[in-house]
Structure 1
Amino acid sequence: MVTGRSGTSRRARWAIASLAMASLLFGALAAGLGNLHASQQVAVGLPFAFTLLAGVTYELRSRTQHRQDGAQSAALASTEIARELRTLVKYRGLPRDADPAELGVSPSSLARQQAESASLPRPAYVSRAVDQELERCLRDLAEKSDGDRPRLVLLLGPSKSGKSRAAFEAVRRVLPDRVLVMPDPHNLAARSLDRLLELVPGDTRGGIVLWLDELDRFLDAGCIDIARLARWHRQLPGLVVVATLRDDLYSRYEETRSGEARGPLSDAANLLRLATVFSFGASWGPQDWERALEAYPGLRAHGRPERGLGVELICGPDLLRRFQVAENSSPAGFAVICAAIDWRRCGVAQAIRADELRDLAGQYLWRRRRAPMTDDAFRDALGWALEPVLPGAGISLLHFADASGENYEAVDYVVAYWDGPEGHAAAPDSLVPATWELIIGALSDDACFPVGWAALRRSRREEAAAAFSRSARSASPATAIGSLYELGEIRQQDGATEAARDAFTQIVARFGESDNPDIMRQVVMALIAMGISLDLDDRPDEAISVFDETIARFGSSADLPVLAEVARAMSGRGLSLSGAGRHDEAIAALNDVVARYGSSPEPFVDEAARSLLNRGYVLLDAGQPAEAIAAFSETMARFGSSAAIMPRAFATVARMEREGLLGVGHRLRQRLFPAADAAPDGTSPLVAFLVLLTDGNEASGLARLLQDVALLEADERALFAAPPVRGVTFLTDPDREWRAANVPPDAAIVYLLSHEDALPGIVERMGGTYYIGCSGAEQFAAYTSSDSLRLFLGDEPLAFASIVMADFSEPEPPPPCLFARSEASLMAMLAGLPVLARDAADDELPFGE
């Protein structure tokens, strides 16, 4: 062979070169040994030459073997990486080569047949009204290489509303050369996405689209949070994350987010707030539906736009009908489907095996029918569940999750139905403690982690604690830390503070020496939680020690998320100092946080806002309510964009008034509506609310709004009007003709207007009663405190309506009510101040963050 000859001649050349080298060395030696006899020269030189030749040959062979070993090691490493990638990835390739069904788009026989008849590579896509905006967003995000804006696109909507297909088509058109990577949703752990993104960049120079269909799976597994997303963007500048999520699940995550909540679950909820969101409804508009009928004319006979194209293509109504009648027609089959559905509802990432399915279905069948799940019954039930709902439809209530034929999943449309209000009404005994217990007992430690999150989202605290207790034993630091943290939070809220601190202490003991930034951040969070727990147990000195240790150990970190948590520790230290009665030190500590981070970007500015708010609480605790309200007002003025801070600041001011600490609103009502027996005819005088907002539409709209929502009996005691001349001009040059025609001469006047530079001086000279909306704390300082002056932050009409209705809706004698308490609360909700009008008896807002 040519190759053999080439190899032989190559080896021959090496041998000749070696012999030539040996000859030269032998000659040199011989010359140097001229005083020896010829036979002695040969005797010395020949062995030396052959020894040298052997050494050269050995070296050559060693180098060749080393290269071979290196090549084998590289090949082995490449094989190991490829093997690991196969376990982590469901799809990796260019968008144009992807099958939408691989990415979460439900397969449909009708759609497939339509595509085959039209010789299309994939089922026809029906464009949606949101497409252009979605494509524009993807194009914009793909061009961003900085880390200032999270590149997370989230498509929200009901099951089968077209989220996944719309996302796929947008990515295919806008980012055709990016590598689209979809993780395997059945093989998730806390570091799955971290590891996946470490392995794939080698062949993705053009950028990556990370595809997270059914984002709840990844959130519940602890795979993604704000810190991770920021790090991924730094490591992979071209990364764009595209995700889908059911809108009802989004609402559940939102319910877990608050300004005080910390930990992985609230991190997941906060992550959603940073996404660019596109919403899809279940029903289709007329134009969208007409395009759908053009693409799929077979739907004209039975399709309905209120159900949407996706539901029609998967025979959604037939799926639900088969499921709904199954309890009577096939009790064992119904039990199998319920078991597969609840496996998913409990947050389990992996598909359910046949033995697990039988055990769980047997529990349902016994609970509902007192019948055992025999081998024959299970075999028949499984066959029934896998049977297509319609001949040739290709879709069934249960399907194989992979090619092994051993793992199963319930169709997600029915999972969403059973998880909604109709399902809850039909299955009040679903997800009972026995279900959680069986599922948790069947899983590995790591697999219990998302189950704990799912239980928390469903307010199943004991089941969540059981799952987290299992997953806390995980060898994965991320899983163990997240589990222990949530376990500590559960115990803390249950009042078991020692058990809570034990969980937080385990985090510090097991992982406190790690130099991994993510772990360091979570250790700091655990220390802060421990300090707060000690503070709540009235042990402020111990809490201060914990905060001091945290600041000393981690204050020099170069990682921004870690430093953001250190800022929280500084704020917590200030509150603990206040708890110890060291108010001056507390205020100084909180001022330090505000000074350091008040002008910083998120997340530092959020902590500065909390510290300023907490300064108000400390001042209140120190018996300085006037200074406290100034701190709250400054908080609202400087950090009004913080959704978590604003309602608390407004609520605190409102509560202080109700409890008499300030009493502005209460005293104002008493002055306007004196005791009924004070009037000669036994009635209260009329109060005229004159809306002087400079914008005419806003002024007349606010007056009509207050008139419409006032109680019927309020017509005899109050009127609401907007004069044609408004603002400061009305006060300095009133329209006397309009006033004489619209306001009784003996009416008490209340002016509603926004701050203007000349207003403080006019108010002081003229007297009267005023509701003045301010846009900043500095405007408050311009006015002299008075019982006839009601200052508040906000100059929008709804803010005025909320304050006025809150002030005149409490049934406190002697002033009468003008508004119903329920209407006042509703108005406060509309204004974004849900706790402003809450009854004082029900207000249990804790002081401090």
Structure 2
Amino acid sequence: MQGMGENNVTGGSLENVVQAGSIGELTINSAARPQLPRPLRDPARWPLAASWDALAAGAHRARPGADGTTLPPYVPRDIDARLRERIARPGLTVVVGDSTAGKTRAAFEAVREVHPGRRVVAPPPSTALTLVPEAIETASAPCLLWLDDLERYLGPEGLEPDVLDDLVRLGVPVVATMRLKQYATFSGGRDRTVGTEVLRLAEVVDLDRLWSADELARAEACDDIRVADALAHHERYGVAEYMAAGPALWSEWDRARKTTGHPRGAALVAAAVDLSRTGLPGPYTSDLLTELHGAYLTKAGGELLRPEPLDEAFAWAGDLRHGVTSLLLPADGGLWLPFDYLVDHAEDQVPEEVWQAALRVADDRDRHAIGYSAWEKAPHIAEAAFRSLAESGSAEAMTALGLVLALDERVEEAERSLRSALEHGYVSAPYALGVFLYLQDRPAEAEPHLRQVVAEGTTAAITPLADLLATAGRHSEAESLLRVAVASDLPEAPLRLAVLLTDMGRHDEAEPMLRALHTEAEPLVVVPLATVLSASGRQEEAEHLLWQALPEGSPSVALKLATLLIDTDRREEAEHVLRPLLAKDDLSAAVMLGGLAFVDGRFDESAALFRRAIADPRVPAFLGRALAKAGHSEEAEPLLRTATENGDSSAARSLAELLIHTGRSAEAEELMRAHATPEADALTPNE
């Protein structure tokens, strides 16, 4: 049949193609795959670890040696054996420490020793890491992934859990470094997002800035003059820190900010440092630094300092110092980066205009970084960053926005955002929503979300689920979960299990666990261990433990000690322990002191203390009783009536006494008949 000799199906993907009649030439083109970015296209260009250069890896330069070398010999660090053992296996290893502590050099030396024959994939931060597993899988040689300053690779299309899973499947070690402040930003104080989830999957190796006695002894055996010079200053600075000229550059910048000479240059450096502290990845344009530096210059003294011309200021800031580095590091295209040592040691608050400028110039990936950085330091900026991303459909940002709003106690908005993330299928949304609902005292709603996450293998969800079950009196279920968490090496699980056993009265089982944790200087162990000791009749031992921990302890230590002192009728000592907490507006201390004043007949003082703790739901009843005893009947009566309606028998008795004293005996008798109960607990609150 003529006219049907050629049949073309082009573009898209082919599933079922059915055509009546004869089939001629059939051309099928599969769906176009995303092209690999340039750094991932040619494995032959990836360096072999054995011949890789430390400076290319990101190591800081040191002062030039007598032979002109830019790096001194490597002095072995105490972490070396553990680090080498860890990177021999697939998975993520992160070396964490201060700027110039020697993180990159230690990791670099470990990679060269353990994996000399592997190709090193070290993509620029702008690279979509979601494409790295494909690039490595098609390479003809074994590889490892190198991520210096890991925070630059977290966020959309960065090192996500799925990417890491693919790399582990391919047998790829992922070696990363991260500065201490950045690690704290992504790992502490918030629930799961992509960045925090990746860090939970990592093996973290901590590297101290100050060198140990063994490290110093090894350094003394090195004949390099730079190492010897650094050793002479080791009591104040880390050896690697001193060799990288960090303290010297900090001092020069600090002087320039306060004196005439280069005040404009110092202001430009300050602008770059604070931009970096917002989380906005550099490098930064000269125009942006110029725009922002004026406020710093004005704060330092402005025209009185006779600021130098702008070109001279940039030249001064970019000058190479000590043959090592500069305050501002020049980058391609006339861009600038601050020396990271300055960023890590800056403590002043980042000005509002710098946060706003960072948001203004940021792209979507940058906004994620800014949001995480601003989480605690500038929550309104975090909200703005995550809200714009959430409105663009980012489910991760919806989760982060919900958590930021929850911290601001905007509960309804927070829940809407978290549920939106759940509807979008975001991997961390069930965990975040479950924890949120639990903290809102909605355990029945929280439990299925937390159970789902635990069933999916996320051990981090075990502890909030166990807490929920224990609070509901389901101790056996909570115990089973916590024992799984202990077996999974979840860090907080042993303490949670020991506390649960304490609460269940199984002191013989709890005590050895608590003592083992106390040996490891776990500060949260003191109170439950004291509880076990006092319950076992070892009051003196419990008190001794608490007195020892009191100077550096948490408020819970003082509260527990005060409780033991009250139980042995040493009220004056208890007040002495509680007063420092009252100065810090501790509500529990105010309640306990109010109770002590009440028992001693100091009713006006008791009422004043209870007023300070009125946010505590127990306190209105306590306040009503104190006011009644102090003769303030009109103010006391509504408080006591409310407490009586809520079933407080002690408040009912106090209200009856008040009614009698105000000539309403018949009403008092009727009240007591309606609320006839056994003797209620004394006023003094329990811990």
Structure-1-length-normalised TM-score: 0.53
Where does residue 44 of structure 1 map in the other structure? Answer: none
- The partner residue of 1:462 within 366, 377, 380 is 380
Where does residue 217 of structure 2 map in the other structure? Answer: 287
- Structure 1's 262 and 551: CA in aligned 2 closer, same or farther, altered over 3 A? closer
State the 1:182 CA deviation.
2.2
Where does residue 443 of structure 1 map in the other structure? Answer: 362
Q: Distance in 1 between matches of 2:325 and 2:490?
A: 51
Q: Distance in 2 between matches of 1:810 and 1:142?
A: 52
- Structure 1's 434 and 143: CA in aligned 2 closer, same or farther, altered over 3 A? closer
Q: Distance in 2 between matches of 1:278 and 1:199?
A: 31
**Across the two proteins, how many residue pairs are aligned to each other?**
557
Where does residue 735 of structure 1 map in the other structure? Answer: none
The alignment status of 1:487 with 2:401, answered yes or no, reads yes
Q: Distance in 2 between matches of 1:228 and 1:166?
A: 28
State the 1:447 CA deviation.
0.8
Q: Distance in 1 between matches of 2:514 and 2:529?
A: 16
Map residues 40-439 of structure 1 onto 2, 5 A cutoff. 80-83=35-38, 85=40, 92-108=46-62, 110-111=64-65, 114-115=68-69, 123-130=71-78, 134=80, 136-141=81-86, 144=89, 151-185=91-125, 187=126, 192-203=128-139, 205-208=141-144, 210-218=145-153, 223-224=158-159, 227=161, 231-232=165-166, 234-237=168-171, 239-247=172-180, 250=183, 256=189, 261-263=191-193, 267=197, 270=200, 274-281=203-210, 286-292=216-222, 294-296=223-225, 304-306=233-235, 307=237, 310-327=240-257, 328-369=260-301, 377-389=309-321, 393=323, 395-401=325-331, 404-417=332-345, 419=346, 424=347, 428=348, 430-439=349-358
State the 1:596 CA deviation.
7.1
The alignment status of 1:500 with 2:418, answered yes or no, reads no
State the 1:368 CA deviation.
4.1
- Greater radius of gyration (CA): 1
State the 1:439 CA deviation.
1.4
Q: Distance in 1 between matches of 2:230 and 2:405?
A: 57
On the 8 A contact 2:146/2:174 being kept in 1, the answer is yes
On the 8 A contact 1:211/1:241 being kept in 2, the answer is yes
State the 1:363 CA deviation.
3.6
Q: Deviations over 1:51-80 (max 9, x none)?
A: 9xxx99x9xxxxxx999x98xx99x969x3
Where does residue 627 of structure 2 map in the other structure? Answer: none
Where does residue 625 of structure 2 map in the other structure? Answer: none
- The partner residue of 2:457 within 560, 584, 592 is 560
State the 1:812 CA deviation.
6.5
Where does residue 504 of structure 2 map in the other structure? Answer: 629
State the 1:248 CA deviation.
5.4
Q: Distance in 1 between matches of 2:173 and 2:300?
A: 47
- Structure 1's 499 and 615: CA in aligned 2 closer, same or farther, altered over 3 A? farther
Instruction: Provide the secondary structure at the position in 1 that maps to 2:279.
Output: coil
On the 8 A contact 1:181/1:211 being kept in 2, the answer is yes
On the 8 A contact 1:808/1:818 being kept in 2, the answer is no
- Structure 1's 344 and 532: CA in aligned 2 closer, same or farther, altered over 3 A? same
Where does residue 642 of structure 2 map in the other structure? Answer: none
Q: Deviations over 1:395-452 (max 9, x none)?
A: 3211123xx33321011222233x2xxxx3xxx4x40222212211221232111112
State the 1:223 CA deviation.
4.4
State the 1:501 CA deviation.
0.9
Instruction: Provide the secondary structure at the position in 1 that maps to 2:74.
Output: coil
Read off the aligned partner of 1:140 and give its amino acid letter.
E
Read off the aligned partner of 2:405 and give its amino acid letter.
R
- Comparing 444-453 with 301-310, greater Cα deviation is found at 301-310
Q: Distance in 2 between matches of 1:278 and 1:298?
A: 18
Where does residue 544 of structure 1 map in the other structure? Answer: 444
State the 1:599 CA deviation.
4.4
Read off the aligned partner of 1:409 and give its amino acid letter.
L
- What is the root-mean-square deviation in Å for CA atoms of aligned residues? 5.6
Q: Deviations over 1:748-783 (max 9, x none)?
A: xxxxxxxxxxxxxxxxxxxxxxxxxxxxxxxxxxxx
Instruction: Provide the secondary structure at the position in 2 that maps to 1:446.
Output: helix
Read off the aligned partner of 2:372 and give its amino acid letter.
W
Q: Distance in 2 between matches of 1:708 and 1:445?
A: 52
Q: Distance in 2 between matches of 1:615 and 1:312?
A: 48
On the 8 A contact 1:356/1:442 being kept in 2, the answer is no
Instruction: Provide the secondary structure at the position in 2 that maps to 1:334.
Output: helix
State the 1:340 CA deviation.
0.9
Q: Deviations over 1:578-609 (max 9, x none)?
A: 7xxxxxxx546x64565578447766989998
State the 1:486 CA deviation.
2.5
Where does residue 679 of structure 1 map in the other structure? Answer: none
On the 8 A contact 2:273/2:343 being kept in 1, the answer is yes
On the 8 A contact 2:563/2:574 being kept in 1, the answer is yes
Map residues 741-820 of structure 1 onto 2, 5 A cutoff. 806=561, 810=565, 814-815=569-570
Unaligned runs of 5+ in 1: 1-47, 59-64, 116-121, 146-150, 513-518, 579-585, 617-626, 670-688, 692-701, 712-797, 826-834
Structure-2-length-normalised TM-score: 0.64
Read off the aligned partner of 2:82 and give its amino acid letter.
C
Instruction: Provide the secondary structure at the position in 1 that maps to 2:75.
Output: coil
State the 1:820 CA deviation.
12
Q: Distance in 2 between matches of 1:339 and 1:450?
A: 18
Q: Distance in 1 between matches of 2:287 and 2:549?
A: 64
On the 8 A contact 1:397/1:411 being kept in 2, the answer is yes
Q: Deviations over 1:198-223 (max 9, x none)?
A: 32232264342x32323344457894
State the 1:180 CA deviation.
1.9
Instruction: Provide the secondary structure at the position in 1 that maps to 2:76.
Output: coil
On the 8 A contact 2:431/2:450 being kept in 1, the answer is no
Instruction: Provide the secondary structure at the position in 2 that maps to 1:114.
Output: coil
Unaligned runs of 5+ in 2: 9-24, 581-585, 594-612, 618-687
